[in-house]
Amino acid sequence: MGEQVIGRLKAVLVGKAVPYARPGVFSAIDKRSLSGRVEVGDEGLAGDEQGDRRVHGGPDKAVHCYAWTHYAAWRAELPGSPLWREPGAFGENFSVEGIDESGVSIAEQWRVGSAVFELSQGRQPCWKLN
């Protein structure tokens, strides 16, 4: 059986860890869109960092996906915020269209370019977003 197309990437994003909120705390939530090919390894996308490796990153949390369709609800909830104009406000590496968490299952595999990604867990809220 061939591969089924279930959605598409709106954006691929990476970010660097920078000081955040108080001394000794870092965040890499500010992700920026890339164009072209991106190298992928066991720890995620080349050029991407995590601010707190105890709770972010690693082989089971190497890439964070967030559905672009959710941004419409955020625009309605908090109108006028520039955060909702482009993907990346939630620290996602993949902004996806045509699919969200209601249409996926743990252990499902997605092919993106020449790489295969396995959905390992749902995202747990981070205090920096809450």
The span from the CA of 93 to the CA of 64, in Å, is 5
Query: Is residue 3, in this structure, part of any structural domain at all?
Result: no
Query: Is residue 57, in this structure, part of any structural domain at all?
Result: yes
Q: Provide the token pair at 39.
A: 């190298």
| Domain assignment of residue 101, given as a range | 8-118
Query: Is residue 114, in this structure, part of any structural domain at all?
Result: yes
- How do the pLDDT tens digits run along the chain, 130 residues long? 567 777 899 999 999 999 988 899 999 999 999 999 999 998 899 999 988 877 788 888 889 999 999 999 999 999 999 989 999 999 999 999 998 888 889 999 988 888 999 998 887 777 776 6
Q: Residue written as tokens 């981070």?
A: 126
Q: What's the CATH number where 63 sits?
A: 2.40.33.20
Closest by Cα among 10, 66, 12 to 36: 12
What's the total number of domains in the chain? Answer: 1
Which residues neighbour 51 within 8 Å (Cβ) at sequence distance 6 or greater? 17, 18, 20, 25, 26, 27, 28, 29, 128
Query: Is residue 45, in this structure, part of any structural domain at all?
Result: yes
Query: Is residue 126, in this structure, part of any structural domain at all?
Result: no
Query: Is residue 110, in this structure, part of any structural domain at all?
Result: yes
Q: Which pTM value belongs to this model?
A: 0.88
